[in-house]
Structure formats: C-alpha cells, structure tokens
Homo-oligomer: A and B are copies of this chain.
Amino acid sequence: MPLSKPMQDALELPICPIEPAAHIIGQKWTLQIVYFLLNSSSMRFCELQDRLGGVNPSTLSSRLKMLEEEGIVRREQISAIPPHVEYSLTAMGRDLEGVIREVTRWSNAWLCGSTK
C-alpha cells in the first residue's frame, strides 16, 4: 500500500529516513573508500589515492576529513620512521559492511553481470 498522507503533509512530509545517510554515501568516492578500508584494516593516503584510481588529492583529503568528522573514519599519525598517517574505520564505519555487501551483490548481479 502506497503510503498516503492525509492533510498534514505540508508540515511534516514523512521524512526520508535515509536522508542523512544518503548525504554521506551519496558523495563521490565515499563507498569506494569504505570498501577498501573494510578490506585492509588501515591504509595510507597515497595508497587510497592509488586504489581509487585517479581521485584528486584535494577531493580525497576533504572526503576523509568529512568521514572523520562523521565518525566513520579514524585518522592516526604514526610517529614511526618514516612518520606517516593511517586511515581506518571506526565501529560506525565497520558497520557499513552490510551496505557494502548489498551493493556488491547488486553490482555483481546487474552491472558486472557477465560473470555471474
């Protein structure tokens, strides 16, 4: 049954419950970044840059900053020699595994479908 909304729709159009998530996921590179971090526990900036195949470093930088602010990615300065930075997923980020799994399934079924 399609959700029919009576009279109060102007005031409170049924809020789309995925809107805040869509705001994060619906940005370029977010899903791919999470995908790679899920598979490798931690990665460096340049490593991500290589894997993502041609993302521009400004975009990657701001995307990682946003994901850190949202609590999805953790940034750690490693003071070893040579010092560097490692990015990994928080619990919140790791919990996106279900989303990634479903996206992968759908992608394999309908987009990369030739090898099903």
Contacts and interface: CB of A to CB of B under 8 A. Distances in A.
A15 to B, nearest CB: 9
The SS class assigned to the A binding surface is helix
Interface of A: 2-3, 9, 13-14, 16-22, 25-32, 35-36, 39-42, 47, 50-53, 71, 92, 95-96, 98-112
A13 B107 contact: no
Contacts of A71: 110
Given A30-B26, A31-B26, A103 B18 contact: yes
Given A21-B107, A102-B98, A16 B2 contact: no
Given A17-B107, A53-B13, A99-B103, A32 B22 contact: yes
